[in-house]
Amino acid sequence: MAKRTRSQQIGATGEYLVGKLVSEMGHIWRPNTADFGIDGQVEVVDRDCRPTGKTISVQVKTTSAVRMACETDKGFTYTCSAKDLEYWLGASEPVLLVVVRLDQQRAWWKRLDTWFAEPRQRRSRVVTFDKVDDLLGPGSEHQIAAAATPLKDPLPLLRSSETLTTNLLAVTGFAPVIHWAETDVQDRQEAWAAMTAAGRFESGFILSRNRLYSFMPLTGALSPLCKGASASFATSEWEQSQDRDVRRSFVALLNFTLRAMHYQELRYHPERHYLFHVASSDLQPRRRKVGRGSGRTVFEVYRDAENKVRYCRHYAAHLNFRQWDSEWYLEINPTYHFTRDGERESIFSAEQLAKIKRLERNAAVKGQVEHWAQFLVQGQSDTLFGVGDRRIAFGQLATFTVDASIDERAWIVPKEAEAGDMPLLIDEGAEAS
């Protein structure tokens, strides 16, 4: 047997490392016996340990150099030869270029057909590797599987577990009784006028069939609305009722009570049916800290070059009470509210909302759901200034674990931020977990 040259020994060591990393990901590595520009092939294995027949070719470039071309703390580059690049891009299936650093026993990968899809980039023949995002090994198994899967085919489920966080905030309890009294008040506008005359206010009530219902005792701000003595009954009568009219009344009471619990911080949009954070009195950014972390800017003003207000952005959310299997939850669907001056709605709110939604990804939405959940939970906590409002008590966001997962990075195509000055919010004030 012919003795291997040092270059061949280095190459074989790099291919061995790639095979080991691919095996650790759960996929199959098949080295080529003859190297004509392709060193091996990866076949994707699904969560049931079955080969899927989905394959992708791999070319390994191994180096013993202690520093790569144009290397920084974040990445480095590799320049392909014109001959190699023509061969790889003309292959019958996509080719992964894997660069192995022997001194670090690490490897980075790039799918060449997508990297060189732009003619100008192809002419340069330069591949840029990110030391974090392009690292080969456990954690990149989903992206390798996606690279090997034709666009028309569904992505395979891989062997990994994932804990999913839902947008359902558990309701752990209600005020024990519902108070009621006869009333001559016909609607909320009339009720508000009566409370204004008395100088005391409370919005956590409903009116139904000449009766007033509330979790609050009817001896305070609601007393001007009552006709005669008040009474009460156990909240469980409505909470567990199967009567559709009663359930509608109970949900309506929950909605008005939730707004009343946060009347100083939140306002309700009667047409869009969401709650949004109010503006600060001086239009300065309003930052809300909940739980750990630095918090989030829930109200912010955006100005033009002359320092004139262009629009204001408010955090908002559709909050809907749901019941499944006798358990109650608050469904949180975050969104944004846009105003011209903190009060009047922006005439461009639809366009502004559509633009910001196009830029957001799963991490941004998850972060906002967690923010709203923590905000609502924090509102029921006792402070130095008083007792927390626990007419509706909240717990944690519901989670569940699945035995297979798909990495969002494997199927969402990275998108460049669009032109314009709408801020990209997905990195803003992420809460520590």
Q: Which residue has the tokens 């001086």?
A: 282
Rounded Cα distance, 52 and 32, in Å: 19
Binning pLDDT at 50, 70 and 90, where does residue 378 land?
Answer: confident
What's the pLDDT at 384?
66
Higher pLDDT, 131 or 386: 131
The pLDDT of residue 207: 96
Q: How far apart are CA 209 and CA 426, in angstroms?
A: 47
Is residue 371 a contact partner of residue 379, using CB atoms and an 8 Å limit? no
* Fold entry, domain 6-156: Trna Endonuclease; Chain: A, domain 1 (3.40.1350)
Amino acid occupying residue 127: V
428 pLDDT more than 60: no
What average pLDDT does range 314-333 have in this prediction?
94
Please give the Cα distance from 28 to 261 (Å, whole number).
Answer: 57
Segment 134-180, tens digit of pLDDT: 999 888 888 888 888 887 777 777 766 567 789 999 999 999 999 99
Which pLDDT score, from 0 to 100, does residue 162 have? 64
Q: What's residue 124's pLDDT?
A: 94
Q: Mean pLDDT over residues 395-399, rounded? A: 92
pLDDT higher than threshold 60 for residue 431? no
- Report the pLDDT averaged over residues 209-229: 94
Q: Which residues contact residue 247 at a Cβ distance below 8 angstroms, ignoring those fewer than 6 apart?
A: 238, 241
Backbone angles phi, psi at 76, to 5 degrees: -160, 175
**What is the residue-averaged pLDDT of the chain?**
86
**pLDDT tens-digit map of 351-375:** 888 888 877 777 788 889 999 999 9
CA dist 107 and 18 (Å) reads 7
The token pair that represents 139 in the structure block: 């954690």
Highest mean pLDDT among 38-47, 149-158, 245-254: 245-254
**Cβ distance 52 to 46 under 8 Å?**
yes
Assigned token pair, 138: 């456990």
Average pLDDT over residues 206-226: 94
Mean of pLDDT values over 21-43: 87
Cβ atoms of residues 143 and 409 within 8 Å: yes
pLDDT band at 81 (very low <50, low <70, confident <90, very high): very high
Cα separation of 207 and 227, whole Å? 13
pTM: 0.64
Residue 415 in tokens: 């998108």
Over residues 20-44, the mean pLDDT reads: 87
Band of residue 33 on the pLDDT scale cut at 50, 70, 90: confident
How far, in Å, are 29, 38, 42, 111 from residue 32 at the CA level? 10, 7, 11, 19
Average confidence (pLDDT) over 34-40: 80
* Residue 287 in this model has a pLDDT that exceeds 60: yes
pLDDT at 4: 62
> Is residue 419 over pLDDT 90?
no
The runs of H, that is alpha helices, within 262-333 are none
Where do the domains of the chain lie? 6-156, 159-176+235-433, 179-234
- Kindly report, residue by residue over 259-282, the tens digit of the pLDDT: 999 999 999 999 999 999 999 999
Residue 405: predicted pLDDT: 58
**Amino acid identity for residue 69 in this structure:** A
Residue 404 has pLDDT above 60, yes or no: no
- How far, in Å, are 46, 121, 161, 397 from residue 404 at the CA level? 9, 36, 5, 21
Residue type, 376: L
